[in-house]
Amino acid sequence: MDRILITSAIPYINGIKHLGNLVGSQLPADLHARYHRGRGREVMFLCATDEHGTPAELAAAKAGKPVAEYCAEMWQVQKDLSDGFRLSFDMFGRSSSPQNRTLTQHFAGRLFDAGLIEEVSETQIYSPADGRFLPDRYIEGTCPNCGYDRARGDQCENCTKQLDPTDLIDPRSAVSGSTDLEPRQTTHLYLRQSLMRDRLRDWIDGQKDWPVLTTSIAKKWLDDGEGLRDRGITRDLDWGVPVKRGTEEWPGMEGKVFYVWFDAPIEYIAAAHEWADAQGLGQEQWYRWWRTDAGADDVRYVQFMGKDNVPFHTLSFPVTIMGSGEPWKLVDYIKSFNYLNYDGGQFSTSQGRGVFMDQALSILPADYWRWWLLRNAPETGDSEFTWESFQLASNRDLADVLGNFVSRVTKFCRSKFGEAVPAGGAYGPAEAALIADLETRVRTYERHMEAIEIRKAAAELRAIWVAGNEYLQSAAPWAAIKEDEDRAAAIIRLSLNLVRLYAVLSQPFIPDAAGKMLDAMGASADWPDDLSEALRTMAEGQLFTVPENLFAKITDAERDDWATRFSGRRD
């Protein structure tokens, strides 16, 4: 399709995210968005901060600030970091926006009218030490399923089993650590997911091209029923979307807010509303992305997320969309990821272990991180970041293969022909063989990118860079010019066109370097639909400049220093 809607998992507002968070949703989503824009397709790429619930309240209290002020400041921090990593969102919104408040209350009203929300009087956990009801995720204990001793009251991060706080063994407050927890009566709204089981199963069974990771998690929850228990969608909190039925008050729900897992996915839709309002556009402009009765039936909608988010996006959010009875767009493809580990362990905020987004940008430009993370994306299993691997990929791929090629070609041309594409000579058998090889490789690269096979796409892109280096080494213009200046001119003319081609193909992965290459060549960013023609885009006489060194090599001393600096505190 020519219109692509892309959303990446919405990060919590409390704190700066580490590289594992980045590669698990936002970065591959950006790769997908940039690729499709490069192909001339219309893209809407949306994300936001997830600002409601206890995490935001506690983080604000720790910072000594009102929660709304804290969220506004942290939104800007996360927005600046996303800009630093060149994440090309069309809108980076906020789940606390007026648009999301209105939409969340609207969906709640529709679901209630459809008989999919009911009021339930239940017993919840109250902590006298904290003076509050504890949300599920702020009760910790031992998982009865796998024995993990830091399972949360809503889900075990270790085995992904969905839980209730009362399921936990030896529960404690994650806020104060108190084990003095007592049950108290309160009334909440429940989303009756169980009523949608058959409809969800038919929908998921119809998704034949989803990744195995996505479908296996979704079907596991369907088959054992764990993901389809009716789930509470309100909480006894101060910060969040007030409970209403559309615009009407909800008797008995005064002082309560919607649970963050109900309103956060709705922000995907609200972000498009925020985008339209920011542009001064009317309702029809964001409806055309989200409503099938307003043009969204010709949109391909792709979501990116870590595997822990899959159950909510294959079950709970689709129940909200389907259950509303309105023609909202359902996701077409969910790209889910395993975890990125750090140097033999896990990333840890509390221990200062691993590289976080702000730290990464403080030591190296974004392209270094983008390239390593994407070429090692945890698609079929967990990946592990090591400084040795990072140094090797940066030096061999970026500096030695791509950067060296650009430098050799442009500097040789400047010294022998000046800063213009040289005239004379014609492409011969060596050039024809290279073009034929690259024709196959570029189409393979496209297939991997279309299928969102990120590691395969990165490997093919590197092979395309290598092909140019091998051609240059074999054609040896520095030797040819001694006997046949026209032959050397033809070699360099093709090589300068390769620089442009590499910039276009590489832009989704390393946008800053690609931009520098295109600027230096003074060339268009047109996609190479016809490779033979694409490698003649820069015609004889076209001016260019020699770009600065695209990638500096990482030294052993730098590698060792960073490994020590980000190893975390040791007891």
User: What per-residue confidence (pLDDT) applies to 100?
Assistant: 98
In angstroms, rounded to a whole number, what is the distance separating the alpha carbons of residues 491 and 87?
36
pLDDT tens digits, one per residue of 379-421: 999 999 999 999 999 999 999 999 999 999 999 999 999 999 9
Say yes or no: 243 and 354 in one domain: no
pLDDT tens digits, one per residue of 306-324: 999 998 899 999 999 999 9
User: What per-residue confidence (pLDDT) applies to 130?
Assistant: 85
Q: Which two tokens stand for residue 224?
A: 């054992």
Say yes or no: 172 and 211 in one domain: yes
User: Measured between alpha carbons, how far is residue 430 from residues 185, 413, 450, 476, 535 in Å?
Assistant: 80, 19, 30, 11, 14
Q: Confirm whether 544 is domain-assigned.
A: no
User: 């980000």: which residue's tokens?
Assistant: 566
Residues 6+ apart with CB under 8 A from 175: 54, 58, 127, 130, 134, 138
Q: Domain with 98 in it: what CATH number?
A: 3.40.50.620
Percent of the chain with pLDDT over 70: 99
Of 332, 366, 400, the residue at which a domain comes to its end is: 366
Q: Confirm whether 334 is domain-assigned.
A: yes
Q: Confirm whether 269 is domain-assigned.
A: yes
Complete DSSP assignment for 240-266: SPBPEETTEE-TT-TT-EE-HHHHHHH
377, amino acid identity: A
pLDDT surpasses 90 at 445: yes
Domain count, the chain: 3
Q: How many CA atoms lie within 13 A of 128 on its CB side?
A: 5
User: What per-residue confidence (pLDDT) applies to 532?
Assistant: 94
pLDDT surpasses 70 at 377: yes
Q: Which two tokens stand for residue 439?
A: 């024709």
Say yes or no: 62 and 160 in one domain: no
Q: Quick check: helix, strand or coil at residue 47?
A: strand
pLDDT surpasses 90 at 57: no
pLDDT surpasses 60 at 540: yes
pLDDT tens digits, one per residue of 203-247: 999 998 999 999 998 888 887 655 588 989 999 888 999 999 999
Q: Confirm whether 454 is domain-assigned.
A: yes
Q: Domain with 240 in it: what CATH number?
A: 2.170.220.10
User: What per-residue confidence (pLDDT) applies to 434?
Assistant: 97
More confident residue, 223 or 529: 529
Of 337, 366, 395, the residue at which a domain comes to its end is: 366
More confident residue, 185 or 95: 95
State the CB neighbour count (10 A cutoff) for residue 179.
12
Say yes or no: 301 and 216 in one domain: no
What is the average pLDDT across 545-561?
96
Of 229, 249, 269, the residue at which a domain comes to its end is: 249
DSSP 145: T
Q: What is the CA radius of gyration of the chain?
A: 27
User: What per-residue confidence (pLDDT) applies to 317?
Assistant: 95
Say yes or no: 391 and 332 in one domain: no
Say yes or no: 52 and 173 in one domain: no
159 annotated among ligand-binding-site residues: yes
What is the average pLDDT across 420-449?
97
User: What per-residue confidence (pLDDT) applies to 175?
Assistant: 81
pLDDT tens digits, one per residue of 140-150: 999 999 999 98
State the CB neighbour count (10 A cutoff) for residue 41.
14
494-526 burial, b at 16+ Cβ within 10 Å, e below that, comes to bbbbbbbbbbbbbbbbbbebbebbbebbebeee
On whether the CB atoms of residues 213 and 336 are closer than 8 A, the answer is yes
Q: Range of 518's domain?
A: 387-534
Say yes or no: 359 and 274 in one domain: yes
Say yes or no: 89 and 68 in one domain: yes
User: What per-residue confidence (pLDDT) applies to 227?
Assistant: 58
565, amino acid identity: R
Helix intervals (H) in 54-185: 54-63, 67-84, 98-113
Q: Confirm whether 122 is domain-assigned.
A: yes
pLDDT tens digits, one per residue of 310-360: 988 999 999 999 999 999 999 999 999 999 999 888 888 777 889 999 999
pLDDT surpasses 60 at 570: no
In angstroms, rounded to a whole number, what is the distance separating the alpha carbons of residues 151 and 159?
9
Of 69, 56, 39, 85, the C-alpha closest to 47 is: 85
pLDDT tens digits, one per residue of 462-490: 999 999 999 999 999 999 999 999 999 99
pLDDT surpasses 80 at 512: yes
User: Average per-residue pLDDT in the chain?
Assistant: 94
Q: Confirm whether 382 is domain-assigned.
A: no
User: What per-residue confidence (pLDDT) applies to 375?
Assistant: 98
pLDDT surpasses 80 at 303: yes
Window from 177-181, 269-273, 282-286, 320-324 with minimum mean pLDDT: 177-181
User: What per-residue confidence (pLDDT) applies to 226?
Assistant: 57
What are the φ/ψ torsions at residue 356 (nearest 5 degrees)? Answer: -105, 165
Strand 231-232, strand 234-235: pairing: unpaired
Say yes or no: 268 and 338 in one domain: yes
Sign of CA pseudo-dihedral 107, 112, 116, 119:
positive
Say yes or no: 303 and 400 in one domain: no
User: What per-residue confidence (pLDDT) applies to 221?
Assistant: 83
In angstroms, rounded to a whole number, what is the distance separating the alpha carbons of residues 267 and 455?
30
Q: Domain with 487 in it: what CATH number?
A: 1.10.730.10
Q: Confirm whether 547 is domain-assigned.
A: no
47 annotated among ligand-binding-site residues: no
What is the average pLDDT across 109-115?
97
pLDDT tens digits, one per residue of 29-52: 999 999 999 999 999 999 999 999
Of 489, 566, 491, 500, the C-alpha closest to 533 is: 500
pLDDT tens digits, one per residue of 83-100: 999 999 999 999 999 999
Question: Confidence band (pLDDT; 50, 70, 90) for 257?
Answer: very high
Q: Which two tokens stand for residue 297?
A: 């039936």
Quote the pTM value: 0.92
Q: Which neighbouring-strand residues pair with 342?
A: 345, 385
Say yes or no: 133 and 215 in one domain: yes
User: What per-residue confidence (pLDDT) applies to 225?
Assistant: 54
Q: Confirm whether 381 is domain-assigned.
A: no
pLDDT surpasses 60 at 4: yes
On whether the CB atoms of residues 490 and 432 are closer than 8 A, the answer is no
User: Measured between alpha carbons, how far is residue 85 from residues 67, 72, 199, 367, 399 in Å?
Assistant: 27, 20, 39, 8, 19
On whether the CB atoms of residues 330 and 321 are closer than 8 A, the answer is yes
Length of the chain: 571
Q: Quick check: helix, strand or coil at residue 444?
A: helix
Q: Is 115 exposed, middle or buried (0-12, 13-18, 19+ CB in 10 A)?
A: exposed
Residues 6+ apart with CB under 8 A from 298: 1, 2, 3
State the CB neighbour count (10 A cutoff) for residue 291.
19
Say yes or no: 470 and 358 in one domain: no
State the CB neighbour count (10 A cutoff) for residue 363.
15
User: What per-residue confidence (pLDDT) applies to 174?
Assistant: 85
In angstroms, rounded to a whole number, what is the distance separating the alpha carbons of residues 103 and 80?
27
46-67 burial, b at 16+ Cβ within 10 Å, e below that, comes to bbbbbbbbbbbbbbbeeeeeeb
